[in-house]
A and B are shown apart, each in its own frame.
Chain A
Amino acid sequence: MIKHISIKNNQSISLHDIPVLKYDDFLAHNTSLLKEEHHHCVNYFGFPQERKLRLICCIANDNEHTILVSSSLINLDSTLPSFTHHHLSFHIFEREIHENYGIRYSDHPWLKPIRFSHDRYDRNSKIENYPFYKIDSEELHEVGVGPIHAGIIEPGHFRFICNGEQIIHLEIQLGFQHRGIEKLFLEKKKLLQRTILAESIAGDTVVGHTTAFVNLWESLCGFKVGNDLMFSRTLALELERIAIHTGDLSAICNDIAYQLGSAVFGRLRTPVINFFQIWCGNRMAKGLVRAGKNNFPFSKELGNRLLHLFEQYEPDFKEMYAEFKTLPSVLARLEKTGIVTKEQAYSIGAVGMSARMSGIVRDIRMTHPHDLYPQLHHKPILKHHGDVYSRTQIRKEEILQSIDYIKTLLKNIPEEDKSSQKLKSPSANAFAISLTEGWRGEICHCAITDEKGEIAHYKIKDPSMHNWLALALSVRNNEISDFPLCNKSFNLSYCGHDL
């Protein structure tokens, strides 16, 4: 019996081709897949079908470059044994299914609502009456931070249980940014509206999320993507990585009150995002990535400007980083702060930088390459300590690696594809999945169409979904005054999580 269908990244298949298993088989099959280290869960969600709930689980196979999709049809009022009981990395997906559809799990350790979405099953469950973890001890104390952030970035509530200065436990509550994006994808029928929605999922990952969306859309429509489109998407993804990583280094310096680093890295970020402005008229690259077309073709002249930019960027960056990493007061703050072990990162299913800092090879650019990444033969940068310093080093090395990639790409700028291939409408009863390695980690978009070819369900997974738990684990037994530094070193998305 076929238990799953194996597909490639950005491949669209008929919904009927996904095998429907009995829930017990579904559970046993997927959890047994996860026992092997080269498998990880990229998305697991439910969508209503014929008054029942169709659960779809997508497991990525990193060795074979495939995604194994299986499904199960369950009744809406069922009580089920949980996946999480067997592998912790499913916890966030099952909590989401529980929150949205009221499915009960008999052995899920922690059915905390993840974002109090507008269309949640239990309207009475609100942030106001959510029971946070409490302490009875006289010696411990509780510190609540947020939801208004001290630096007014994005809202999130953090509740610490501390013993003096030492953090015993951190509970993170998000959902303050919930906008109902997945639902809006169904309500907004125009492609442009949907593209703009994708651009607004997380303001710092505009290229990442939009690339995931357009790749998905083009695959649903059977559009053959030209070399010029792939080129500009790959280039934009790497540029976004450079820009945000540099900004993060500046923010890390700011949090440890190292003024020189904060000023210099901050200055270095500006020309990179300004290059987006020159290219497409927006510093965050909004408007750059569009399905089936490119409004801002990349020219030789732009290429030369970019090379010139790197000529100035690289020496300054290297000099500043050398200064930064040799300063004892900086290293004293970064080393051995906020450690996440490899076992922890693996069990919670961390992705992106948060996985690579602990020595886990998890990078879509290598395992499921899209656009021009197959040509680049990406080798992920790995660190093994899982502390703030590892996350800093990864950023530095990824910046230099991305510059190399961009230089390689610029040697061969493809001509604009003038053949006016039209985007067709999406095929009916189809399922498509798209994985993209944004700067933060793996972004997964899934879409299901109905018999008319309209989107029936749209599912977004930002890398932050997995990684927030890594932050909560990293601060345990650290000092509470190091929390902001740990938080910044992960730099997770609030709105990407809240959708």
Chain B
Amino acid sequence: MKVLNLIYIIAASLFFNGIIIRTKSIFSGRMGPGIFQPLKDIWRLFRKGAVYSQTSSFIFQIAPTIYFASVLMAVFVIPFGGQPGLISFKGDFVFFAYVLALGKFFMIISALDTGSSFEGMGASREALYSMLVEPAFFILIGSFALLTGHTSFYEIFSSLHFGSYISYRIGVLAAFVLVIIAMIENSRMPVDDPKTHLELTMIHEVMILDNSGFDLGLILYTSSLKFAMYGAIIANLFLTPGNEWYYSIPIFIGIQIFFAVLIGTIESFMARFRMNHNPEFIFALTTASLLIFLGVLLILGKII
């Protein structure tokens, strides 16, 4: 039943953005739209035709599809509880990171393809931040690989919690790092403001200014899917293999909802960073990953 993993993540992606928007609405004293409103918007976009600029090439047209496909491929390798993902092999976390990077690469060159100065700026910001995030992710997963002695997501997560309870503590720290990585990768606050109308301050939004109709719908949906994917990785840190479905599914849903509400809360009560503070913030994340690495070394008794 490996397909079930995929279904859980897709189900979570359907309401994820809705929960964020609803949380923000409630905190600003409004009722807000229903949690399926973002989905309805995407559905509306799917039924529209796309408009392409004459100056853009085929790259601009294929990029949204490649972006979606890359995230979907990345979702395939995510395990769920005791179940491996649809694809699972040794070193699949490297595959995971670079298949996402491939999608992002296409989005960046498609933004450059439009020739707009705004999109060029957005692309350069996006490339910079993705580059800075990468060490944090690899040090984090690398530490887990070191701890468990395995190199695939499935094996890492299924053997993570047979040691002491200290692994749960590391899990909490790892969840923190993953939440921030997800915020940066999805261009949310405090690094980027998804609600802004100001092109000059946008990062991800400005890259998709020229996309319309079906393509735009696909990009928006991919972003929800990406959120749910990170939520699933975080959930995996706390799902102990061997648990029955009636434990694991509520934990999964609970963590996804908690994650969405957390994002909504952060976005309600703080201002976003000044653009030149973002790299410092992302570097700090790498430091947190190094802390996990140190913790793992301590557990394994490699130092002292």
Q: Is residue B49 within 8 Å, beta carbon to beta carbon, of the partner chain?
A: no
Q: Is residue B53 within 8 Å, beta carbon to beta carbon, of the partner chain?
A: no
Report yes or no: A479 in contact with B275, Cβ–Cβ below 8 A.
Answer: yes
Residues of B contacting A150 in the complex (Cβ-Cβ under 8 angstroms): 197-199
Report yes or no: A142 in contact with B117, Cβ–Cβ below 8 A.
Answer: yes
Report yes or no: A258 in contact with B271, Cβ–Cβ below 8 A.
Answer: yes
Q: Is residue A180 within 8 Å, beta carbon to beta carbon, of the partner chain?
A: no
Q: How large is the interface on A (under 10, 10 to 19, 20 to 34, 35 or more residues)?
A: 20 to 34
B184 to chain A, nearest CB (A): 15
Type the 1/0 row for B208-219, where 1 means its CB is closer than 8 Å to any CB of A. Answer: 000000000000
Q: Is residue A481 within 8 Å, beta carbon to beta carbon, of the partner chain?
A: yes
CB contact list, A320-335 vs B, under 8 A:
327, 329-330, 332-333
CB contact list, A462-485 vs B, under 8 A:
479-484
Max count, chain B CB within 10 A of own CB: residue among A256, A327, A480: A256
Once A258-B271, A482-B274 are accepted as A-B contacts, the answer to whether A143 and B121 lie under 8 Å apart by CB is yes
Once A143-B118, A150-B197 are accepted as A-B contacts, the answer to whether A260 and B272 lie under 8 Å apart by CB is no
* One of A143, A165, A263, A484 near B29 (C-beta < 8 A): A263
A351 to chain B, nearest CB (A): 27
* One of A144, A165, A260, A332 near B117 (C-beta < 8 A): A144
Measured CA separation A256–B275 after assembly (Å): 11
Q: Is residue B165 within 8 Å, beta carbon to beta carbon, of the partner chain?
A: no
Type the 1/0 row for B253-268, where 1 means its CB is closer than 8 Å to any CB of A. Answer: 0000000000000011
Residues of A contacting B58 in the complex (Cβ-Cβ under 8 angstroms): none
Residues of A contacting B272 in the complex (Cβ-Cβ under 8 angstroms): 256-257, 329, 333
Residue of B nearest to A143 (CB): B117
Residues of A contacting B199 in the complex (Cβ-Cβ under 8 angstroms): 145, 150
Q: Is residue A255 within 8 Å, beta carbon to beta carbon, of the partner chain?
A: yes
Report yes or no: B271 in contact with A327, Cβ–Cβ below 8 A.
Answer: yes
Q: Is residue B247 within 8 Å, beta carbon to beta carbon, of the partner chain?
A: no
* One of B30, B193, B200, B277 near A145 (C-beta < 8 A): B200
Report yes or no: A479 in contact with B276, Cβ–Cβ below 8 A.
Answer: yes
Residues of A contacting B275 in the complex (Cβ-Cβ under 8 angstroms): 165, 479, 481-482
Q: Is residue B168 within 8 Å, beta carbon to beta carbon, of the partner chain?
A: no
Measured CA separation A333–B270 after assembly (Å): 11
Residues of A contacting B204 in the complex (Cβ-Cβ under 8 angstroms): none
Report yes or no: B271 in contact with A141, Cβ–Cβ below 8 A.
Answer: no
Residues of A contacting B270 in the complex (Cβ-Cβ under 8 angstroms): 258, 327, 329-330
Q: Is residue B226 within 8 Å, beta carbon to beta carbon, of the partner chain?
A: no
Measured CA separation A477–B138 after assembly (Å): 36
Report yes or no: A257 in contact with B193, Cβ–Cβ below 8 A.
Answer: yes
Report yes or no: B197 in contact with A329, Cβ–Cβ below 8 A.
Answer: no
B26 to chain A, nearest CB (A): 11
B127 to chain A, nearest CB (A): 13
CB contact list, A135-151 vs B, under 8 A:
141-145, 150-151
Q: Is residue B245 within 8 Å, beta carbon to beta carbon, of the partner chain?
A: no
Q: Is residue B190 within 8 Å, beta carbon to beta carbon, of the partner chain?
A: yes
* One of A256, A263, A330 near B28 (C-beta < 8 A): A263
Type the 1/0 row for B82-103, where 1 means its CB is closer than 8 Å to any CB of A. Answer: 0000000000000000000000
CB contact list, B150-191 vs A, under 8 A:
189-190
28 A-B Cβ contacts within 8 A?
A141-B117, A142-B117, A143-B117, A143-B118, A144-B117, A145-B199, A145-B200, A150-B197, A165-B121, A165-B276, A257-B195, A257-B267, A257-B272, A259-B27, A259-B268, A263-B29, A263-B30, A327-B270, A327-B271, A329-B272, A332-B277, A333-B274, A337-B274, A479-B275, A480-B121, A482-B201, A482-B274, A484-B200
**Known contacts A141-B120, A259-B24, A263-B29, then 9 further A-B pairs from the complex at CB < 8 Å, ordered by chain A residue:** A143-B200, A257-B272, A258-B270, A258-B271, A259-B269, A329-B270, A332-B274, A481-B201, A484-B198
3 interchain residue pairs of minimum CB distance:
A263-B28, A257-B193, A258-B271
Show the binding face of A for B, using Cβ within 8 Å. Answer: 141-145, 150-151, 165, 253, 255-260, 262-263, 267, 327, 329-330, 332-333, 337, 479-484
